[in-house]
Copies of this chain bind each other. A is one copy, B any other.
Amino acid sequence: MARGDVKTAGLKVRRGRAGNVAMGEERRLRSILDAALSAFARQGFTRTPVAEVAAAAGVASGTVIYHFQTKENLLAVLAWECLHLLWRECSGAASAAAPGPGRLTAYVEAFFDFLRREPDRILLLFKTEPMELSLGQVAPGLDIRTLWQATRMLLVNIFREIGEMDGQELPDPERLATALLAHVSGAAWLHLFFNESLDALRGSALDLAGRLARGSVRP
């Protein structure tokens, strides 16, 4: 994936032939996506008119539809992008770490870093509209639940790896992963909606991760 960091491939976005005009198509698409992200995350999908996104992006509202066909599709692309970025960060960090419990720490750190750096992207995922829409439309097998599962599978695999490493018979990796994911998701929720301190939450998540890895907390 040399050019165009953001993988939107497979999603229904209308694009012209490579290398083009004025504002630059790539840049135009980006500014629409960014405008939409910020508006959807803040006010919610249904409360944001296409015209508002268009205005914020500096294009005509026809242009938004021209590229994304549908307002819902715009949300789908956006949600997919958010989850993909999140997955990339976490998976990248985890696999860069040394095998073992360090991966868990790296995963959790990456999650909180992402949350701090791009709160809107997580906020968007907590909004329930993405869930309510059948994202199956966007790209088969890429609906939002599937992607969440992918994020979760990262954890499952890490726990499995840890279990296999020190043979200490960790309880069901599935349940361990779920427990940690619950903690981390809830932390993000409290942070985003109730302004709970990110650092405190990160601390408690890391602590839990450590103990889960050591088997000292039975999920």
A-to-B contact residues, CB < 8 Å? 43-44, 46-47, 126-129, 131-132, 145, 148-149, 175, 178-179, 181-187, 189-190, 193-194, 196, 200-201, 203-205, 207-208, 211, 216-219
Contact = CB atoms under 8 A, between A and B. Distances in A.
Given A44-B129, A189-B185, A179 B194 contact: no
A194 B148 contact: yes
Most chain B CB inside 10 Å of its own CB: which residue of A183, A193, A205: A183
Given A145-B193, A203-B218, 12 more contacts: A44-B132, A46-B46, A148-B194, A175-B204, A178-B201, A179-B183, A181-B186, A182-B196, A185-B186, A204-B219, A207-B218, A216-B216
B178 A131 contact: no
A219 B203 contact: yes
Contact of A44 (B128, B181, B187): B128
Nearest to A190: B182
A68 to B, nearest CB: 17
Contacts of A47: 46, 132
A178 B204 contact: yes
Contacts of A205: 182
B131 A128 contact: no
B204 A211 contact: no
Nearest to A132: B44
A41 to B, nearest CB: 10
26 contacts: A44-B46, A44-B128, A47-B132, A127-B128, A145-B193, A145-B194, A148-B194, A178-B196, A178-B204, A179-B200, A179-B201, A179-B208, A182-B183, A182-B196, A182-B204, A183-B186, A185-B186, A186-B187, A186-B189, A189-B189, A200-B219, A207-B217, A207-B219, A211-B211, A216-B216, A217-B217
Contact of A175 (B43, B132, B194, B200): B200
A162 to B, nearest CB: 17
